[in-house]
Amino acid sequence: MVTITSILTYPFKFSTATFIGTSVFTIQDSTPLDETCDDNSGDCIQTTTFIIQDISTNGCTFSGDYEFQWTQVCRGPNCPSSLDPISATVSLESSNICFSIKVYSSISGSIESYEQDDYSSPQTSFMVGNYIFFQAYFVSDVDVDHFLLVNLYLTYDSFPSPRYLFQNGISTQLGDSNSFFALDNQFTFSVSVGINEDEDLIISGSSDIAITFEVFAEYEIFYKTTFRKRSIQSQQLSLSKKISIVSSSNSNSKINSKTTQDIKQQQKQQPQHEMMKASSTTSTIVSSFSLVLISLIFSFVISHYWQWC
């Protein structure tokens, strides 16, 4: 609402007022109201109030120049037969007149990774080419209405630039090539590795590889306020998870290396067992020899005793 005060010499006064300029707003016609306008005042002081509509849908401010036109009338007997309208351009300046309420909410979350789509046993190490199943978990002190996955990408040390599988709500060529799929708070994709310039590869490197990369998921969380109208507000949330992958050949190499070490360890321990076995056999022979010697001495003593008797 804008109120304009005007002063005319008595007996002249304004009867109607109209906005005649151009504007994105709707401005209604107005009827000026008398404040002081009689024979004794010498002047006719009036106020004209214009109502400006549609401000909230057009930037919440109406600063600018506005052209209005007033029609004149005369209340005395000695008045001209016709009076020309009077127009004027008014400069208005306003601040942001739209009310706003800042809603503070606490929304956090995490991502877990799984080898199977039953999402029962979390793990962070996978084989190259296998599918990795992810599930996002949200913790909130507000009533979450729904959420959308906006972006999903990954980075690794030798390639810090984001590799987008899902961008601005749409699966990318990289995502399609690696069987990216998302539903609600779950998503999955396979990890392809190669050394060529193919843009469809997630990891650029030797197929015989062991590497760690980080997955970033950006969500838009929509939640209901606690106000009477229960308006829907939104908040962005970014989650990440580090994943390790290893090639099958690299994995077999580790297993073979472990087996070789076990064999060497057994070979080191085997002589010790043989020495213990030999030592045990020697002890048995010595013990047997001692018993035989004691038996011979005893027989010799008994024989001589009977001869003396």
Is there a domain that residue 270 lies in?
Answer: no
Over residues 12-38, the mean pLDDT reads 85
Examine the domain organization and report whether 87 and 113 are in the same domain.
no
Q: Residue 151: CA atoms inside 13 Å, Cβ hemisphere, count?
A: 14
| Residues pairing with 242 in the sheet | 214
Examine the domain organization and report whether 39 and 133 are in the same domain.
no
Cα–Cα distances (Å) from 50 to 26, 30, 67, 116, 162, in that order, read 10, 6, 12, 67, 54
Over residues 15-32, the mean pLDDT reads 87
Is there a domain that residue 186 lies in?
Answer: yes
pLDDT band, very low/low/confident/very high, at 77 (cuts 50, 70, 90): confident
Is there a domain that residue 27 lies in?
Answer: yes
Q: What is the pTM assigned to this prediction?
A: 0.50
Residue 142 belongs to domain spanning: 107-250
What 8-state DSSP symbol labels residue 77?
S
Examine the domain organization and report whether 85 and 135 are in the same domain.
no
CATH code of residue 86? 2.60.40
Examine the domain organization and report whether 84 and 158 are in the same domain.
no
Candidates 304, 289, 110; CA nearest to 217 is 110
Cβ proximity of 56 and 24 under 8 Å: no
How many structural domains compose the chain?
Answer: 2
Residues sharing a CB contact under 8 Å with residue 216, sequence separation 6 or more, in sequence order: 151, 152, 153, 154, 155, 162, 238, 239, 240
Candidates 163, 130, 166, 161; CA nearest to 148 is 166
Q: Which of 30, 62, 92 is the last residue of a domain?
A: 92
CATH code of residue 187? 2.60.40.4100
Examine the domain organization and report whether 113 and 229 are in the same domain.
yes
Examine the domain organization and report whether 236 and 157 are in the same domain.
yes
* Residue whose tokens read 């010499």: 9
pLDDT tens-place string over residues 95-154: 777 765 555 668 899 999 999 999 999 999 998 888 999 999 998 888 888 999 999 999
Q: Which of 233, 250, 267 is the last residue of a domain?
A: 250
pLDDT tens-place string over residues 161-174: 899 999 999 999 99
Q: What per-residue confidence (pLDDT) applies to 34?
A: 83
Q: What per-residue confidence (pLDDT) applies to 272?
A: 45
Examine the domain organization and report whether 128 and 73 are in the same domain.
no
